[in-house]
Amino acid sequence: MAKTLFQKVWEAHTVRQLPNGQTQLFIGTHLIHEVTSPQAFGMLRDLGLKVKYPQRTFATVDHIVPTNELKEPYSDPIAQEMIEALRKNTKDFGIRFFDTNTGTQGIVHMVGPEQGITQPGTTIACGDSHTATHGAFGAIAFGIGTTQVRDVLATQTLALSPLKVRRIEVNGQLAPGVYAKDVILHIIRVLGVNGGIGYAYEYAGSTFDNFSLEERMTVCNMSIEGGARCGYVNPDQKTFDYIKGKPYAPKAADWDAAVARWKSFASDPGCAYDDVVKFDAAAIRPTVTWGITPGQAVFIDEKMPALETLNAADRATAEDAYKHMKLSPDTAIKGTKVDVCFLGSCTNGRISDLREAAKYLKGRKVSPTVKAIVVPGSQLTAIQAVHEGLDKVFTEAGFEWRGAGCSMCLAMNPDKLVGDQLCASSSNRNFKGRQGSQTGRTVLMSPIMVIAAAITGQVADAREVFKV
Amino acid sequence: MSLAKVTQVKGLALAVPGDDIDTDRIIPARFLRCVTFDDLGQHAFRDERTGPDGKESNHPMNSPQAARIAAAKKGVMVVGFNFGCGSSREHAPQSIWRFGFTALVGGSFAEIFFGNSTTLGVPCVTLSKDDLAECDAFVRAHPDVEVTVDVEKLVVTAGAKSWKASIAASARDGLINGKWDPIADLLDGAAAVDRTAGSLAYVAGK
């Protein structure tokens, strides 16, 4: 019988059926960070349990690390306490920790792929909702709560119910100035922020075939923003090429067998899906959010929706959003003044994002009214960017070049909006207060659109600014 | 590990309106800077409850009703659709639970939030759109009437009113049988886990 990748991975990792009808699912790869793991280790100790497969858990520190302060102790004592707790926990339980002094630390969803830990046909769990990022490699990867982190540590399994699979097909060529970020913002806008509840999203079609792994990661990353706990792209030659030679990739003698196995996990032709949705890539334009959910988005050359065009439930959320964002219905968002520009995050903090941004920024200047920061998602990304001279392009233009971490995506470190500042952000969430100020405002967009905003000091159409 | 059977939750109810209430709004990220969940109850919905000027807002969590629920350490929160969307932070249901709420009634719940709540023994049941609107209105009009969330019979009752409720079968099963924390069952499967591990090349190191 023809099967989806989701079904094949699920079956290969099924341990048994639990008394309540759920599946005890084996989690092949467990990723942890400092925010959602300390309580789990605490529970483990309280119950007198050990980590069952310490070699299958990998740790890094990302949320709380300051990006402009390299020396410890950090000025935030709680941040210091959290990083030290992770050091102790990983040491006590024999877990590999990609610490800040290793040159390999970074956002957990960047470290996995960079190390070759993220592989096709595997199950990956992490106490972080953006774990779906790893689905770009054909893994079934999803976010879990802290009690579930305990479950994985203690048993290497989770109690779960299978998901339905929705195939999201995007075909054709994206127009110049349109990127993977626009594709996923558009998908969420159309399918809704809760459209994916109960589903895994399988992203497919010629647009995805042509995407690099980094572009695929940008899309899979935001699956949860559409309500889908996981999203994936079937593995192909690009996937294998990306993994090859990475530290945790299968070595010479095992490589061919691994590739053959990985290929076998791809969805079979003719397999049945619970739902199929199709998009035309050519119809997607640069997309920005105007509200307080990632689904409240418009093409940059569209007006924001008039309230009377929305149904009753959406209208209530929209009214709240307009009030918070200090924007007016039925007007253009283009031209809105921007105070801060943030380039980074597990959505768009990879080397290809920095290269594309630098390409358009080179020789230009950040508007004097804008504070602009660029935060590479990982130390390896930062090292590569410096090697290519990208840091100079950013700093010469007026960006602050920072150390690796989550930074202003969720402002758990000192990088925060102040008051009602409006931030043009390459991150994934525009929730109220997300960027560290309860009245702060976030407009999500692609990296090139962040650069256009930084230069012009307003929400701008990068296609016009850069004449692409 | 012996857990209480959560067949029925009864208590005063509080309506917290709105759809797509995300976990950043339930517990802002700065309160995730901690290594235990112990102090989270007081910070539930903090930025909704306190304005930038430091003054208390008219958010329902600031109401005398919320204070009664906090004092009783039991109560029902009535919410909208897609409640708990966004981050996987268990800090969100932990804060609601530690504030004093022991059940939630809503239109729909984000999956990770739902799972995190269930694992705390906090049922999140859903009502149809119309029933939810009626329940919400009733709760606001009758703050002194206790609401019962019957997980076993799948019904929410308040005074003479009752509404048909739903919850995932596995969650219902775990709650009513006192097995809402799956750790014991998962540990029981240890031998089978080792067999699965051995069958997976990337785990077995092949």
Q: Locate the domains of chain B by residue range.
A: 8-178
* CA distance linking residue B160 with residue A295, whole number of Å: 39
Report angle CA A133, A343, A363 to the nearest 5 degrees: 135
State residue B84's pLDDT score: 98
A241 and A312 share one domain: no
Asked if B191 reaches chain A (Cβ–Cβ under 8 Å), the answer is: no
- Judged by CB atoms closer than 8 Å, whether chains meet at A79 and B193 is answered as no
3-state secondary structure of A393: helix
A244 and A340 share one domain: no
Q: Chain A: nearest CA to B189, how far in angstroms?
A: 8
Q: Which residues contact B7 (CB under 8 A, 6 or more apart)?
A: B150, B151, B152, B175, B176
Q: Is A196 exposed, middle or buried (0-12, 13-18, 19+ CB in 10 A)?
A: buried
Contacts of A121 in chain B (CB under 8 A): 202
Q: Which CATH superfamily is domain B8-178 in?
A: Aconitase, domain 4 (3.20.19.10)
Asked if B164 reaches chain A (Cβ–Cβ under 8 Å), the answer is: no
State residue A70's pLDDT score: 84
Q: What is the mean pLDDT of residues A134-142?
A: 98
A427 and A325 share one domain: yes
A57 and A13 share one domain: yes
Asked if B166 reaches chain A (Cβ–Cβ under 8 Å), the answer is: no
A260 and A401 share one domain: no
Instruction: Say what percent of chain B tops pLDDT 90.
Output: 97
Confirm whether A297 is domain-assigned: yes
- Confidence tier at A59 by pLDDT (50, 70, 90): very high
A355 and A424 share one domain: yes
A365 and A259 share one domain: no
Instruction: Say what percent of chain A tops pLDDT 90.
Output: 99
A97 and A132 share one domain: yes
Backbone phi, psi, residue B181, to 5° = -95, 115
A329 and A418 share one domain: yes
pLDDT tens for each residue of A67-124: 999 899 999 999 999 999 999 999 999 999 999 999 999 999 999 999 999 999 999 9
Closest to B138 (Cα-Cα) out of B114, B156, B109, B161: B161
Confirm whether A241 is domain-assigned: yes
Average pLDDT of chain B?
96
Query: Which residue among A39, A52, A317 sits closest to B19, beta carbon to beta carbon?
Result: A317
Residue A393, domain CATH: 3.30.499.10
* CA distance linking residue A217 with residue A113, whole number of Å: 10
Q: What is the mean pLDDT of residues A139-144?
A: 98
pLDDT tens for each residue of A208-264: 999 999 999 999 999 999 999 999 999 999 999 999 999 999 998 899 999 999 999
A253 and A326 share one domain: no
* CA distance linking residue A310 with residue A290, whole number of Å: 15
State residue A142's pLDDT score: 98
Confirm whether A39 is domain-assigned: yes
Say how many domains are in chain A. 2
Residue B171's CB is within 10 A of a number of other CB atoms, namely 23
A304 and A376 share one domain: yes
Confirm whether A183 is domain-assigned: no
Is the ipTM above a cut-off of 0.95? yes
- Judged by CB atoms closer than 8 Å, whether chains meet at A127 and B87 is answered as no
Confirm whether A424 is domain-assigned: yes
Whether residue B24 has pLDDT greater than 70: yes
A358 and A436 share one domain: yes
Q: Are A377 and A106 in contact (CB under 8 A)?
A: yes
- Confidence tier at B167 by pLDDT (50, 70, 90): very high
Q: Which domain holds residue A252?
A: 5-161+235-264
Closest to B131 (Cα-Cα) out of B107, B158, B101: B107
Which residue of chain B comes nearest to A17, CA vs CA?
B189
Contacts of A311 in chain B (CB under 8 A): none
State residue A402's pLDDT score: 98
Average pLDDT of chain A?
97
